[in-house]
Amino acid sequence: MTEAIRIRGLRKTYGTHRAVDDLDLDVRAGEVFSLLGPNGAGKTTTVEILEGFRSRDAGDVSVLGTDPHRAPRAWRDRIGIVLQSTGGLDLLTPREVLRSAAKSYRRPRDVDEVLDLTGLTAKADDRTVGLSGGQRRRLDVALGIVGRPDLLFLDEPTTGFDPQARRDFWGLIRSLAHDGTTILLTTHYLDEAEHLADRVGVIAAGRLLALDTPAALGGRQGAEATVSWEEGGERRTRRTTTPTTEVSALAARFAGEVPGLTVTRPSLEDTYLSLIAPHVDAADPVAATEVPA
């Protein structure tokens, strides 16, 4: 199987609103795929359909070779899910929560290994009610991977993580991907998508706007670069599609190092924002500002 997820003509309507509008999408087996989009784009609806938690109105969907709407119990054993939040665990310890969850799977990871991977070993026997927001998020991630899934859904997994915890989590995701786990990641952190994803898809208004590697999305590789330098007491800037040629000319003119030289191309965030701009209501402050600086 070369495709872990295959979507053709997916449609979901709520009243007169099409949350997902004839969406076509493939996620390759073994890749880390990031799904990006503003609030209301259709990401959550799409992912819930893929997880088997929501029905669809039209279209064909295959997840690990099975229609999730009619999937047997054995299929669920191959899926890991990290939701945006979980509840009802306050009186249990992380170790107790994971031991209980592990019993639902045929080949679970060792609980102590999972605690270590998610940075919860020191809190393993504390009641969940006393964990910080970031530590509770780590427990959500631990629940998602304890079953050793073939396909892992990650919905905003690093919300509440400090910078070091995020970097540690990225290492965990790379390790899972290296071992062959297919990962579908939704995130509002564009640096996270750029560091982790083999490919990214941008959706808005229920439709796929762009699909490519993070480096090439929206023509980033061929976009104009901005070359800036200091000269005559001023900051000078030039936009060009041939930055190497421009830098070589500057180096020759300055006979060596170019003062204050910088060369920048549009970031993934720049590209993302330009793609979704026509689909974001400027009067909607949530949608317009959901990408962190």
| Distance from chain centroid for Cα 76 | 21
What pLDDT was estimated at residue 1? Answer: 56
- Grade residue 223 by pLDDT with cuts at 50, 70 and 90: confident
Mean pLDDT of 25-53: 95
Q: Cβ distance 221 to 233 under 8 Å? A: no
What pLDDT was estimated at residue 231? Answer: 93
Token representation of residue 9: 């003509």
For the ranges 32-36, 82-86, 253-257, the one whose mean pLDDT is highest? 32-36
pLDDT tens, 259-280?
999 998 888 998 999 999 988 7
- Grade residue 283 by pLDDT with cuts at 50, 70 and 90: very low
| SS3 sequence of 236-256 | EEEEECCHHHHHHHHHHHHCC
Select from 230, 173, 214 the least CA-distant residue to 30: 173
pLDDT tens, 186-208?
988 999 999 999 999 999 999 99
Is it the case that residue 185 has pLDDT exceeding 90?
yes
pLDDT tens, 132-156?
888 888 898 899 999 999 999 998 8
CA distances from 58 to 18, 192, 278 (A): 11, 32, 26
Task: Kindly write down the DSSP assignment for every residue of the chain, as one continuous string.
Answer: --EEEEEEEEEEEETTEEEEEEEEEEEETT-EEEEE--TTSSHHHHHHHHHTSS--SEEEEEETTB-GGG--HHHHTTEEEE-S---S-TTS-HHHHHHHHHTTSSSPPPHHHHHHHTT-GGGTTS-GGGS-HHHHHHHHHHHHHTT--SEEEEESTTTT--HHHHHHHHHHHHHHHHTT-EEEEE-S-HHHHHHH-SEEEEEETTEEEEEE-TTTGGGGGGSPEEEEEEETTEEEEEEES-HHHHHHHHHHHHTSPPTT-EEE---HHHHHHHHHGGGS-TT-HHHHT-S--
Q: Give the mean pLDDT of the chain.
A: 89
Of 27-41, 48-62, 274-288, which range is least confident? Answer: 274-288
Top-confidence residue, 37 or 265: 37
List residues bridging with 25 in a β-sheet.
7
Q: Please give the order of strands across the beta sheet that includes 234-240.
A: 234-240, 225-231, 262-264
Distance CA 52, CA 71 (A): 8
Q: Which residue has the tokens 């800037």?
A: 237
What pLDDT was estimated at residue 191? Answer: 92
Quote the pTM value: 0.83
Q: Which residue has the tokens 């317009």?
A: 288
Distance CA 202, CA 268 (A): 11
**Helices 133-145 and 94-102 sit at what angle, rounded to 10 degrees?**
20
Distance CA 19, CA 13 (A): 6
What pLDDT was estimated at residue 132? Answer: 86
- Grade residue 290 by pLDDT with cuts at 50, 70 and 90: very low
Mean pLDDT of 114-129: 93
pLDDT tens, 86-120?
677 888 999 999 999 999 999 999 999 999 988 89
